[in-house]
Structure 1
Amino acid sequence: AQITLFGVLGLKKSPGAVIMLMPLVIITILFTAYIRQQHYIVTKYLPSIGAIKKEKENVANGFDYEFLRGQYKQPALQEKHVEPENMMNGTGRTSEHQFNDSLMDMKNV
């Protein structure tokens, strides 16, 4: 598409527009090279189609993934989500009030 645009603008004798499009072509080439460099290794050794086939075979053969549960969590998911104490929730009460209410409920039991 960019080459076609170069051709059209070149035929219309718009050198300013062609010159202004040069950074677009250069950035596109650099981005394509970067993507191929970063993702080539993964797709070379385990294409997604092969991974899907292997996963389906494992499930069909009764392979149990239960031993993996809890073995790895992304760093962002390792800690409990923290909210400010004065944040209102759907009930119109702050989390601190809810915490105090739950403590009172536990004492009454």
Structure 2
Amino acid sequence: MKKFAFVSAAAEREYKELPKDVQDDFGKDLRRIQYGQDPVRPFKSLTESVGAGAIELIINGSPAFRCVYVAKFADMVVVLYSFVKTTNRSDRHAMQVAQERMKELKHELRKMGYRI
């Protein structure tokens, strides 16, 4: 089983600010991912906009919710960013935040001796 972490205190706070039922739904999928299974909810790769291994879990509706994570490094599932989606288009701000946090994660893992 992979370990689970948030990339930062801000990432954890954002996740915990989501409605409880949304946290539960994302949490179930994140647990499946820890065990090497595919998520039940829709998902898509964000390799081009965030970085290699970044995946977005999707809950559509009004409002819609997203949870961006990476499970590629250090045998861990790491949540980068969770947010309420406010546009039908790509959310540039959200992708920028996730991209910056991916850089932070890689930097920290390199400092710990991981080759990325």
TM-score, structure 2 normalization = 0.20
User: Which has the larger Rg?
Assistant: 1
TM-score, structure 1 normalization = 0.21
Larger strand percent: 2
- Highest RCO, 1 vs 2 (Cα 8 Å, sep ≥ 6): 2
